C-alpha cells in the first residue's frame, strides 16, 4: 500500500517536474497560436497554469496597469535554481556593488520583455510559445540560466488593439491591405492608457507601468534584456547588433556580445531562409528605451523587430506579394528569444565576469554633480526620480565647488550650502548617473531620430556644477516639515508660487470652492518679500465658517506653507485691494483629441491634468470641434498635431470670436501651423534661407545624411523669460528649453514675447542640424497674442513632452490659471 502510493507520488512528481505533460499554449487555449489574438487575461491564465503545474516556474505579480490589468513576471529555470532564487539574486547584486560582499555568481540572468507597444501584438503570443519550449525541449539551458519573462508590459494597449481587431475582422481574415482590419483607428494600440509610449519612458518613469517594472528590474539587474517589437509589414526581421550612434559608456564587451547574439540568431534564420538585417536604424543613445536603459545598467540590452505592427492582423499581403501571418511573426520572435537564452547559457560564466566589470566607475570624468537647492519642490521631484532608479545622493558640505557650470556652459564655481544635493558617479549606478546628468552626450553619429539631449539639471531647472574632483558630502537628511495652523483673525493667507506643487494646491483650492487671488506685482509685508504670482487668499472672498479649517487642511495636504497677515496694507508693492491682485476663476478647460491630434501630445496633457495637476478637463473629439459651444469653456488646449480641415476658416473665425469674449486658447507644437500666417493672427513662421545649390546634385547615397541638416529632434537651447508677464511667473529670467523641431517663428509683433531666443542663442546640449540652427536666434518660444478680452498662447516647444521636462510644466499652469482668469464670469 505504502509502496504503491509512493510510486504514484513519484510518477506525479516526475511528470510535474519534467514538464513534458504540460499543455502547449494551443492545447490550453483551444486554438492554434496565430489563428487568433489572445486577450491579455487568457495570456495570464496560461502563465498561471504553467506556474501551478511546474515547480520550476515562478509567477510574481508586480503591479497593475492604469486600467487595472495585472502585470506579471515569470521566473523560469532549473528546479535547483528556482529553489535558490533569492540567493542567486543577491549574489548577482553583489557583483554590482549594490550589496556588499564577495560573489561567485555563475548563473546567467536573461530578461525577455514582450509587447511594450500594444499593437505589436505577435510578441505576447511568442511569449507563451517561448515559455512552453523552455520548460519542455530546452531544459538543459536552464541549468545555469534564469529566464525572466514579462509576457506583456503594456496590457491596456494590447487589449485596445486586440479588442478592436476582433470586432472588425472578416472571417476568414482578409489579406488585402485596403481591408478595414488593417486600418487601426486613432489612437491605436501602441501606447498605454494615457497614450504614452512606454518604450520612451524607462528613464523618466512617468507611467505606473514603468514605475512598477523598474522596481523589479532593479531588484534583479539582469545580464541580458530583450525588448520585442514590430515594425512595418514590408521590413525583414531586425536583431542586434544595433546601429550607431552608441552611447560612449557602452563597453566593448556589450558591443561584442551583441554581435555574438546576432550571429546565433542568423544561424536559425539562415537555415529557414528568413530575411533579417542588423546594424541599421535602431541606435543606442537616448536612455529611456527598453534597450538603452538596461544597457546603461550593465546588461546587453537589445531590441528585436519583426514585420507586422497594428496593420498586419492575422494575415496581410506585403508589397512583395508574400502573405505575412501572425503565426510566422510569433515563431520568428520565439526563435530569437530561444536563441538568446541558448547563447547566454553557453556564455553564462563570461556574462557574469563581464557584467561585474561594467560597475567599475573609476574612469568616469565627472566625479560629482552638485545641484543648488533653491526650490524644495523641484528637489523633491528630482529625488523621487533618483529613488526609482536607486541612485544615491547626499547633501553638500558648506564650501566652494568648481567645475562645469550648466547655466553658463563655462568653468565656474559656486558656494554650496548643506541643503544642496550631491550625486557622486562612484556608485553602482554611476554610469547611469553619467548618462542622465552629463551636460552633453557625445554623439558618434548625427543620424538618430530621437532626442539627443536630456541632461537632468536642464530638464528639472537646476543651477548645477559637474566637478572632476569628488566633492565633500554628508548623509542626506530632510528635516523640512510643514504644518500650518488656523488664524481666524487674519485678513488673508499668503502662499508662494514657483513650482508645479503650488499649481496643484491652487487647483485643489478651486475645486473645493475657495476663492484665491494672485498678485501681478511683488510686495513686502511683515518684513517678508513675495514675488509675482504669489497666491493671496482673502477672508473677504471666502466668508464661510469653515474657511480657515478647510484652507489649512488643504495646505497641509499639499505641504504648502501659509503666511497669515492681519492687514492688506503692505510695506512695499501693492495692497491686497489693488487691481493687480486678481481673482482666479475656477477655469473650465477643454482639450482637443482624436483625428488630427498627436495622440502622444494629447496623452501628455491628459496625464498632466489628471495625475499631476489633478484638475478636471473635458476631452472633446476633433470632429465635433466645429459644433462645440466654446462658451462652455474658459480655456481650450489644442495639442501638437495637424489640423487641416479641423481648424479651417470658419472654425478659426469662431475661435477668434470666442477668444475676443475672454477665452484662452493654448496651441502647442505643430498646432501652431494652423494659426501662423493666417488672416487676423499675429503668428509668422520664419522662412528658411534658400539652398545655394539649385539643382539637386547631392549623391543619392548621401541624401539621408543631408536631410539631417534641417533637423532638430530634441536639443537644449537657452531662452530668455519675461517673468513680469503672468505666463512667466515663478520662473527666473532664463530657461533651458528642449527644442523638438526645426521650425521657428518670428517674435510676435504686437503680442507678448514671454519666452524667446535672443540673437546670441546657441545650442547648449544635443544635436541640431546646421540649417535648422540658423533660424533659432531671434525666434519665439512662448508668446501671448491678445485679442479683445482674451488671448492665444503659442507654445512653440512642448513643455509636457514625455512628461520629463519638469521645469516647463509651470508654464502650462500659468497659462491656464493666470491669463484672462477674471474676464469670463
Ligand atoms: Zn515597437
DSSP secondary structure string for all residues of 706-754: HHGGG--SSEEEEEEE-TTSGGGTT--SEEEEEE--S--BPPPSSSEEE
C-alpha 441 – ligand 1 centre gap (Å)? 24
List of E strands, 234-285: 237-238, 243-246, 276-277, 283-284
Task: Copy the grid coordinates of residue 390.
Answer: 536607486
CA distance 704 to 709: 10
C-alpha 167 – ligand 1 centre gap (Å)? 23
CA distance 139 to 82: 13
How does 681-703 read in b/e, with b if 16+ C-beta sit within 10 Å? bbbbebeeeeeeeeeeeeeeeee
Q: How long is the chain?
A: 825
Distances (CA, A) of 379 to 94, 373, 384, 395, 461: 30, 7, 9, 12, 10
Task: Copy the grid coordinates of residue 551.
Answer: 484652507
Tell me the pairing of strands 635-638 and 517-519: unpaired
Question: Within 13 A of 636's CA, how many CA atoms are on the CB side?
Answer: 27
C-alpha 230 – ligand 1 centre gap (Å)? 5
pLDDT for position 632: 96
Residue 120 near residue 308 (C-beta atoms within 8 A): yes
C-alpha 449 – ligand 1 centre gap (Å)? 14
C-alpha 295 – ligand 1 centre gap (Å)? 18
Residue 290 near residue 227 (C-beta atoms within 8 A): yes
With DSSP H G I counted as helix, E B as strand and the rest as coil, what are the percentages for the chain, rounded to 5? 35, 20, 45
Residue 231 near residue 309 (C-beta atoms within 8 A): yes
Task: Copy the grid coordinates of residue 118.
Answer: 500594444
Q: What are phi and psi of 6, to 5 degrees?
A: -60, -40
The candidate with the shortest Cα–Cα distance to 111, out of 309, 298, 356, is: 298
pLDDT for position 12: 42
pLDDT for position 704: 57
Question: Within 13 A of 153's CA, how many CA atoms are on the CB side?
Answer: 33
**Cβ-Cβ contacts under 8 Å for 214 (sequence gap 6 or more):** 202, 205, 388, 389
C-alpha 696 – ligand 1 centre gap (Å)? 34
How does 62-72 read in b/e, with b if 16+ C-beta sit within 10 Å? beebbeebebb
List of E strands, 487-580: 492-495, 517-519, 523-525, 528-530, 535-538, 563-565
pLDDT for position 5: 46
C-alpha 191 – ligand 1 centre gap (Å)? 10
Q: How many helices (H) and strands (E) does the chain have?
A: 22, 36
C-alpha 714 – ligand 1 centre gap (Å)? 20
pLDDT for position 346: 98
Distances (CA, A) of 540 to 365, 566, 572: 59, 12, 22
Bridge partners, 321 (sequence order): none
SS3 818: helix
Residue 324 near residue 312 (C-beta atoms within 8 A): yes
pLDDT for position 9: 43
The radius of gyration of the chain's CA atoms, rounded to the nearest angstrom, is 29
C-alpha 172 – ligand 1 centre gap (Å)? 27
Tell me the pairing of strands 664-668 and 790-795: parallel
Residue 807 near residue 818 (C-beta atoms within 8 A): no
CA distance 698 to 248: 31
CB atoms within 10 A of CB 213: 24
The candidate with the shortest Cα–Cα distance to 177, out of 232, 243, 252, is: 232
List of E strands, 209-326: 224-231, 237-238, 243-246, 276-277, 283-284, 300-307, 315-317, 323-325
C-alpha 319 – ligand 1 centre gap (Å)? 21
pLDDT for position 279: 81
CA distance 211 to 207: 6
C-alpha 199 – ligand 1 centre gap (Å)? 7
pLDDT for position 823: 55
C-alpha 313 – ligand 1 centre gap (Å)? 15
Tell me the pairing of strands 224-231 and 300-307: parallel
pLDDT for position 697: 63
Task: Copy the grid coordinates of residue 29.
Answer: 487555449
C-alpha 173 – ligand 1 centre gap (Å)? 24
pLDDT for position 55: 97
Bridge partners, 716 (sequence order): 738, 765
Q: For the chain, which residues score pLDDT lower than 70? A: 1-20, 281, 444-449, 689-708, 823-825
- Burial of 10 from C-beta contacts in 10 A (0-12 / 13-18 / 19+): exposed
Using left for φ > 0, alpha for ψ between -120 and 50, and beta otherwise, residue 17 falls in alpha
CA distance 351 to 354: 5
Q: What are phi and psi of 522, to 5 degrees?
A: -70, 155
C-alpha 719 – ligand 1 centre gap (Å)? 34
Q: How far apart are the first and last CA of the chain?
A: 88
CA distance 348 to 145: 7
CA distance 61 to 479: 35
C-alpha 792 – ligand 1 centre gap (Å)? 36
C-alpha 120 – ligand 1 centre gap (Å)? 6
Task: Copy the grid coordinates of residue 262.
Answer: 546576432
CB atoms within 10 A of CB 101: 10
Cis peptide before 43 (omega within 30 of 0): no
CB atoms within 10 A of CB 280: 10
C-alpha 116 – ligand 1 centre gap (Å)? 7
C-alpha 489 – ligand 1 centre gap (Å)? 60
Residue 345 near residue 446 (C-beta atoms within 8 A): no
- Burial of 614 from C-beta contacts in 10 A (0-12 / 13-18 / 19+): middle
CA distance 609 to 604: 9
Task: Copy the grid coordinates of residue 312.
Answer: 498586419
pLDDT for position 154: 98
Sign of CA dihedral 643, 646, 649, 655: negative
C-alpha 798 – ligand 1 centre gap (Å)? 23
List of E strands, 602-692: 618-621, 635-638, 664-668
Amino acid at each position: 500500500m505504502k509502496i504503491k502510493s509512493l510510486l504514484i507520488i513519484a510518477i506525479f512528481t516526475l511528470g510535474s517536474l519534467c514538464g513534458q505533460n504540460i499543455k502547449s499554449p494551443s492545447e490550453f487555449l483551444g486554438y492554434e497560436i496565430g489563428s487568433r489574438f489572445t486577450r491579455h487575461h487568457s495570456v495570464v491564465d496560461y502563465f498561471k497554469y504553467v506556474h501551478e503545474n511546474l515547480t520550476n516556474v515562478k509567477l510574481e505579480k508586480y503591479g497593475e496597469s492604469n486600467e487595472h490589468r495585472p502585470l506579471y513576471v515569470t521566473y523560469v529555470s532549473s528546479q535547483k535554481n528556482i529553489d535558490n532564487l533569492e540567493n542567486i539574486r543577491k549574489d548577482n547584486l553583489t557583483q554590482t556593488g549594490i550589496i556588499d560582499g564577495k560573489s561567485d555568481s555563475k548563473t546567467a540572468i536573461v530578461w525577455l520583455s514582450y509587447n511594450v507597444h500594444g499593437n505589436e501584438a505577435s510578441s505576447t503570443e511568442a511569449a507563451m510559445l517561448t515559455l512552453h519550449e523552455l520548460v519542455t525541449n530546452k531544459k538543459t539551458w536552464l541549468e545555469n540560466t534564469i529566464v525572466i519573462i514579462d509576457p506583456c508590459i503594456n496590457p491596456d494597449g494590447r487589449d485596445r488593439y486586440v479588442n478592436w481587431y476582433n470586432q472588425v475582422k472578416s472571417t476568414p481574415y482578409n489579406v488585402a491591405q485596403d481591408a478595414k482590419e488593417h486600418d487601426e483607428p486613432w489612437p491605436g494600440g501602441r501606447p498605454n492608457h494615457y497614450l504614452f509610449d512606454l518604450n520612451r519612458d524607462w528613464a523618466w518613469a512617468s507611467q505606473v507601468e514603468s514605475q512598477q517594472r523598474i522596481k523589479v528590474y532593479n531588484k534583479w539587474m539582469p545580464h541580458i534584456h530583450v525588448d520585442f517589437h514590430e515594425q512595418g509589414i514590408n521590413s525583414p526581421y531586425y536583431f542586434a547588433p544595433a546601429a550607431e550612434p552608441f552611447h560612449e559608456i557602452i563597453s566593448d564587451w556589450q558591443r561584442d556580445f551583441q554581435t555574438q547574439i546576432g550571429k546565433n540568431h542568423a544561424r536559425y534564420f539562415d537555415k529557414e531562409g528568413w530575411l533579417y538585417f542588423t546594424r541599421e536604424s535602431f541606435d543606442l543613445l537616448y536612455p529611456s528605451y527598453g534597450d538603452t536603459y538596461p544597457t546603461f545598467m550593465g546588461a546587453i540590452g537589445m531590441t528585436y523587430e519583426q514585420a507586422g505592427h497594428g496593420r498586419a492582423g492575422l494575415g496581410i499581403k506585403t508589397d512583395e506579394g508574400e502573405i505575412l501571418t501572425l503565426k510566422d511573426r510569433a515563431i520568428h520572435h520565439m526563435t530569437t528569444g530561444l536563441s538568446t537564452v541558448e547563447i547566454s547559457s553557453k556564455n553564462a560564466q563570461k556574462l557574469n565576469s563581464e557584467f561585474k566589470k561594467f560597475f567599475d566607475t573609476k574612469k568616469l570624468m565627472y566625479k560629482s554633480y552638485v545641484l543648488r537647492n533653491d526650490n524644495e519642490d523641484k528637489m523633491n521631484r528630482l529625488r523621487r526620480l533618483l529613488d526609482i532608479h536607486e541612485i544615491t545622493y547626499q547633501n553638500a558640505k558648506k564650501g566652494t565647488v568648481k567645475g562645469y557650470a550648466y547655466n553658463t556652459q563655462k568653468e565656474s564655481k559656486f558656494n554650496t550650502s548643506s541643503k544642496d544635493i550631491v550625486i557622486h558617479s562612484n556608485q553602482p549606478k554611476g554610469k547611469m548617473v553619467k548618462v542622465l546628468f552629463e551636460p552633453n552626450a557625445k554623439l558618434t553619429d548625427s543620424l538618430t531620430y530621437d532626442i539627443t539631449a536630456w541632461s537632468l539639471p536642464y530638464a528639472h531647472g537646476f543651477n548645477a556644477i559637474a566637478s572632476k574632483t569628488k566633492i565633500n558630502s554628508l548623509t542626506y537628511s530632510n528635516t523640512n516639515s510643514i504644518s500650518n495652523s488656523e488664524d481666524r483673525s487674519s485678513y488673508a493667507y499668503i502662499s508662494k508660487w514657483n513650482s508645479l506643487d503650488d499649481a496643484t494646491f491652487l487647483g485643489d483650492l478651486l475645486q473645493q470652492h475657495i476663492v484665491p487671488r494672485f498678485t501681478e506685482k511683488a510686495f513686502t509685508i511683515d518684513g517678508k518679500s513675495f514675488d509675482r504670482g504669489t497666491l493671496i487668499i482673502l477672508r473677504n472672498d471666502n466668508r464661510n465658517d469653515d474657511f480657515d479649517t478647510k484652507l489649512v487642511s488643504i495646505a497641509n495636504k499639499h505641504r504648502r506653507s501659509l503666511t497669515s497677515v492681519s492687514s492688506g496694507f503692505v510695506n512695499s508693492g501693492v495692497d491686497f485691494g489693488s487691481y493687480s491682485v486678481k481673482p482666479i476663476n475656477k477655469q473650465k478647460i477643454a482639450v482637443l483629441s482624436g483625428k488630427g491630434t498627436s495622440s502622444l501630445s494629447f496623452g501628455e496633457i491628459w496625464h498632466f491634468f489628471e495625475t499631476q495637476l489633478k484638475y478636471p478637463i473635458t476631452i472633446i473629439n476633433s470632429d465635433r470641434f466645429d459644433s462645440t459651444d466654446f462658451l462652455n469653456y474658459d480655456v481650450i488646449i489644442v495639442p501638437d498635431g495637424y489640423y487641416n480641415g479641423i481648424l479651417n476658416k470658419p472654425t478659426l473665425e469662431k475661435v477668434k470670436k470666442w477668444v475676443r469674449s475672454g477665452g484662452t486658447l493654448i496651441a502647442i507644437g505643430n498646432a501652431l501651423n494652423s494659426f501662423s500666417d493666417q488672416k487676423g493672427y499675429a503668428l509668422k513662421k520664419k522662412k528658411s534661407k534658400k539652398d545655394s545649390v539649385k539643382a539637386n546634385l547631392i549623391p543619392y547615397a548621401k541624401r539621408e545624411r543631408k536631410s539631417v541638416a534641417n533637423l532638430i529632434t530634441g536639443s537644449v537651447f537657452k531662452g530668455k523669460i519675461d517673468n513680469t508677464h503672468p505666463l512667466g511667473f515663478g520662473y527666473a529670467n532664463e530657461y533651458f528649453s528642449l527644442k523638438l523641431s526645426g521650425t521657428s517663428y518670428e517674435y510676435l509683433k504686437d503680442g507678448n514675447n514671454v519666452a524667446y531666443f535672443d540673437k546670441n542663442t546657441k545650442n547648449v546640449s544635443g544635436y541640431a542640424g546646421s540649417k535648422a540652427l540658423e533660424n533659432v536666434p531671434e525666434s519665439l518660444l512662448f508668446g501671448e497674442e491678445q485679442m479683445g478680452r482674451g488671448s492665444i498662447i503659442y507654445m512653440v516647444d512642448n513643455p509636457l513632452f514625455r512628461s520629463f521636462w519638469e521645469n516647463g510644466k509651470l508654464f502650462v499652469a500659468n497659462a491656464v490659471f493666470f491669463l484672462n482668469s477674471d474676464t469670463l464670469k
